[in-house]
Amino acid sequence: MTVADITTQLSLERRKIFITKHTPEKPNYDPVRTMRWAAVGLTLHGPYFFLSFRKLDCLLGGATSATNAAKKTVIAQLLVFPLVALFAYMGVMEGKNDMDKIRTNVKHRVPEAFMGGCVYWPIANFINFSFVSTGARIPYLAAVGGLWNAYLSYVNAKK
């Protein structure tokens, strides 16, 4: 999540990494924001997904048949992705101490992220469960997850 946020800030948002005159049109890179994403990755995202996908493999097996891949994809899309928890957690870490501000944060960000996830993750997971060996799933998910996390960082940063 750290690399994804750095990538988002520098490439999508065109922030400058070197200290320059800060203007609303050209904000500087925000290392505190990156640290928040790192904390989320270490304390919520990483452990949660590790356990969730391990549980899916235990329940449905590691086989990569089309039927099994479809089952895992549907379950992952409907039950595994904790967007509400992610944006609520980010709201708390951003200093939104009021529950109404956290609810607003979730309300404005989750629908867009969910719709993006409905397009992105079924394809990524179907490829994962159909073609990626069990031993290669961690690197594959790290790669596609990095792209997804860059998108989440972008969504969360939008005003």
pLDDT per residue as tens digits for the range 122-137: 899 889 888 888 889 8
Could you report the per-residue pLDDT of 8-35, keeping only the tens digit for each? 999 888 888 876 666 666 778 899 999 9
Residue type, 33: R
Name the maximum alpha-carbon separation found in the chain: 56
Helix/strand/coil for 82 = coil
Residue 30 CA to residue 9 CA, distance in Å, equals 8
Q: Report the pLDDT value the prediction gives residue 23, as an integer from 0 to 100.
A: 65
Cross-strand pairs, 28: 16
Specify whether the CB–CB gap between 149 and 5 falls below 8 A.
yes
pTM exceeds 0.85 for this model = no
